[in-house]
Amino acid sequence: MNPSNHDHFQGQAAYEHVLQKKSETASEVHGEELPGHFGAFLDACRDTSILLLTFWTVAFVLQLSFKQTTFILVIFTIVWSVWKTIRSTWFSWALLERLHRVLKEERYEIENHRDQEREELTALYASKGFQGELLEDVIDVLMADDERLLKIMMEEEMGLNLEHYEHPLKIGLGSALGALLTGALLIGAQWVLPLYGLVALAIIIKSSSGMLMAKLQKNEMLSAFIWNAGAAVVILGVSYFVTLWIQPLFI
């Protein structure tokens, strides 16, 4: 390995460098939230159900009237929907900016460090079982087209799917719809069954959203249902008893 390669790979073998890049880029670009408008919709449903469940519980302990409780729920649904929309859109936009930066950096590497890129590509495809003349032929074909090479390096080296990212406004719209729909359903349940309608529906929405999120992430759906239902019940209990205990200090 010549000195320039040593600097590029930071003292690592080509394949070790690829693994490090994939790990770093995955954590930086992917983030911790489920991407896509449907994921944003489910996340908003789940969060909104917990928020309104908490406010309903506090209003119940404080013995607010039906109209006062409904007023609070409506106001917080509207404000919360706006916040979820802004947050999801901003997060998605920041994610897209980071992706563009990674693309720009990788394009620079392809244009200015082709020998090192070839080494990385060779290490990647050797790990897939390509050997000898076949390996050289595959690398020659991929190196012949810079745009194809860029796509391959983004997907193979960094683990990114360029077709996976949606427009931030579409994701923000998913969040807005999830928050508004959940709020409308819960407020409707409050009207139909003033005593416990909202509580029951909030737990159902929280659990169902968790199950669908698990399905999208290819996780265990039953486990997600149990965890989300349990979390909703815990939030209900904490909201109730904390409000009950600290109420005398303020009222």
pTM above 0.95, yes or no: no
- Cα separations (Å) of 7 from 116, 202, 244? 10, 55, 63
What are the respective helix, strand and coil percentages of the chain, to the nearest 5? 85, 0, 15
Q: Are 45 and 183 in contact (CB under 8 A)?
A: no
* Look-up of token digits 């911790």: 32
Q: Tell me, what's the pLDDT at 8?
A: 45
* Predicted pLDDT of residue 65: 94
**Which pLDDT does position 11 carry in this prediction?**
47
Q: Which residue has the tokens 């427009």?
A: 167
Whether 229 contacts 46, CB under 8 Å: no
Q: Tokens standing for 247?
A: 């109420």
pLDDT for residue 35 = 56
Distance CA 55, CA 111 (A): 56
- Would you state the pLDDT for residue 1? 44
**Angle between the N-to-C axes of helices 37-61 and 221-250, in degrees from 0 to 180, rounded to the nearest 10:** 40
Q: Tokens 């359903």 belong to which residue?
A: 185
Structural tokens at position 32: 């911790």
Helix (H, G, I), strand (E, B) or coil at 111: helix
- Report pLDDT for 106: 74
pLDDT tens string for the chain (251 positions)? 444 444 444 444 444 444 444 444 444 444 444 558 898 999 999 999 999 999 999 999 999 999 999 999 999 999 999 999 999 999 888 887 887 787 787 777 777 777 777 777 777 778 777 787 888 877 778 777 777 777 777 776 666 665 566 888 999 999 999 999 999 999 999 999 988 999 999 999 999 999 998 888 788 999 999 999 999 999 999 999 999 999 888 87
Q: At what angle do helices 114-127 and 66-112 cross, to 10 degrees?
A: 110
CA 124 to chain centroid = 28
Residue 5 and residue 115: Cα distance in Å, rounded? Answer: 8
Q: Residue 165's pLDDT is what?
A: 67
